[in-house]
Structure 1
Amino acid sequence: MVRIEMEESEDEVPSPPKASASTQKTTDSSGVPSTSSASQEPSDGYETASDGELGDSGDENQQHPEQHPEHEEQIAALSEDEIKEKALAEANNAKLAGNKLFGEGKYEEAIVEYDRALNIAPDMPSAAELRSICHANRGVCFLKLEKYDETIKACSKAIEINPAYVKALSRRGEAHEKLEHFEEAIHDMKKILELDSSNDQAKKAIRRLEPLAEQKREKMKEEMIGKLKDMGNSLLGRFGMSVDNFKAVKDPNTGSYSISFQQ
């Protein structure tokens, strides 16, 4: 008879698997399960996705940059303000360089510097005065170069920024007068008197310009009547008549005209 010895299995209780450094579960201060190691090495400075999502402790979660958005916004705002102030200072230097060139009679070169200042100047309230001055200074350069249309454009931009800019109004009025835009020149002089009723230069300019404006109006009327006369003769000639059969009579009270037919 063969004896078979049976191995006892009661002693073979499997030992629990050792938890690796990355799989042992702990619970952080918020009660959320996380994984950690009792012998974890210090961080090497690189963050994995799991590290970023779970973190190592509640203290580190409190120090995460995302917990301080207001602080980041303050830093960004200060940085932007510093950039604008630096740009404003650089634009002012360009304006001063333009003024120096203007004083030397180098008007074309001065315009280049004023343009550079306008390109650099930031879009902020504190730069508005500098921008209006540069536009007006460009205007007086064009005035010296007898580029009157450019003077009007430049001064108009200065006035858009600063409607009370008397020098820009004066220079634009002068350019209008050079181009025989007498009505527009008078308008600019009257605007100056609204801002400064004691401005003698504007008063003198208006007294000088009003007769010129009236002469121009009469001249324009005569030219218009002449053109209408030619057109009328070409039409009435088919019927054996001419505009000489019609007489225009001016009303001294209203300045209007009435037409009467004469054989």
Structure 2
Amino acid sequence: MVVIEPVAPPKPEPQPLTTADAPPPASGGDEATAAGYASDGGYETASETEVVSDREENGENRAGTDEREELLHQSNDDELEQKSIEQANNAKLEGNKLFVDGQYEESLSQYELALQLAPEIPASAELRSICHSNRATCYFKLGKYEDTIKECTKALELNPTYMKALLRRGEGHEKLEHYEEAIADLKKVLELDPSQNQARRTVIRLEPLAAEKREKMKEEMLGKLKEMGNSFLGRFGMSTDNFKAVKDPNTGSYSISFQR
């Protein structure tokens, strides 16, 4: 008996796909990957685009947050500085009341408190200068003239044209017989305000005192030099009396001559 196998029908030859016959595009990352490969990497994938966008957005948000925090921090600093200045001014006013009552030591403490409270910024420079000047006045009342000069100098470092501090420092110098320094301060006052007649009169009064002090200092210096000279010349049986100084009236210079 012969078995006959059925013959399979011939397979149809593959036909080119038309647009309508093309399979639907892959979804999600496959689509992006396929598109990337099809274009030889000429396009960014969807995931890459999202990552770049997120980074840019996060950077902008971070910058905005930093700016807001900086502005908030600056605002808080300004408020603290303003509050400190107000507290310092209140301490200064309390010092003024104590000064009027003649409580100079207590007044000094309040002015010192004001200086500690006042922040060292340009906005408080005038307040700090006044406190130093007021402390100088307290020291003057207490007879502490060296401290008066120091406080006035601090006030003038903050405000070089502070006339009250210049006048007060001049008074302190006069009390200590620093006539040259007192005259210098008073002349500065006259430069700032030529109508300060009291300062002008004080300069006229102090100038002869300053000249007298210069001569006295000169004599003291010559005396010390003479003493040193005699100590040295005595080894040779001589003294400074063997030397005579003659002043030239035209030039003011001296010439030395030896006499036996």
1:230 pairs with 2:227: yes
State the distance in 1 between where 2:74 and 2:84 align. 16
CA offsets per residue over residues 128-173 of structure 1, 9 Å max, x none?
A: 1000000000001101111111111100000011000011011111
* Aligned position for 2:200: 203
Cα RMSD of the aligned pairs, angstroms, is: 2.5
More deviation, 229-238/191-200: 229-238
Paired residues, what number?
A: 214
- The range that moved more, 249-258 or 120-129, is 249-258
Q: Percent same amino acid among aligned pairs?
A: 62
1:224 CA displacement: 0.9
Distance (Å, rounded) in 1 between the aligned partners of 2:169 and 2:154: 11
- How far did residue 114 of structure 1 move? 0.4
**Is the radius of gyration larger for structure 1 or structure 2?**
2
Matched letter for residue 89 of structure 2: N
Q: In the alignment, residue 194 of structure 1 is paired with which amino acid?
A: E
1:67 & 1:95 partners in 2: Cα distance? 42
* Distance (Å, rounded) in 1 between the aligned partners of 2:248 and 2:101: 57
Using structure 1 for the length normalisation, give the TM-score.
0.75
One-letter code aligned to 2:108: I
Distance 1:227 1:79 in 2: 65
The residue number in structure 2 matching 1:94 is 91
Aligned ranges for residues 231-246 of structure 1 at < 5 Å?
Answer: 231-246=228-243
How far apart, in 2, do the equivalents of 1:126 and 1:96 lie?
18
Instruction: Pick one of 30, 50, 59 that aligns with 1:31.
Output: 50
Distance 1:224 1:90 in 2: 53
Q: Of the candidates 242, 245, 248, which is equivalent to residue 248 of structure 1?
A: 245
- Equivalent residue letter for 1:230: E
Give the distance between the partners of 2:166 and 2:217, measured in 1 at CA: 26
Q: Residue 31 of structure 1 aligns to which amino acid in structure 2?
A: E
Q: 1:127 aligns with which of 124, 127, 134?
A: 124
* Structure 1 unmatched ranges of 5 or more: 1-26, 33-53
Give the AA of the match of 1:213: A
Counterpart-to-counterpart distance in 1, 2:250 and 2:162: 39
CA distance in 1, matches of 2:59, 2:154: 54
Q: Which 5+ residue runs of structure 2 have no aligned equivalent? A: 1-45
Structure having the larger proportion of residues in helix: 2
By how many angstroms is 1:31 displaced? Answer: 3.0
Q: Could you tell me how far 1:253 is from its partner in structure 2?
A: 3.2
| TM-score for the superposition, normalised by structure 2 | 0.76
Query: Letter of the aligned partner of 2:129 in structure 1?
Result: S
Q: Does the residue aligned with 2:50 lie in a helix, a strand or coil? A: coil
- String of CA shifts for 1:193-214, please: whole Å, max 9, x gaps: 1111111111011111111111
Q: Out of 156, 159, 172, which is 1:159 matched to?
A: 156
- Look up the match of 1:72: 69
Change (3 A) 1:262 1:94: same
Supply the distance in 1 between the matched residues of 2:177 and 2:64 (Cα, whole angstroms). Answer: 68
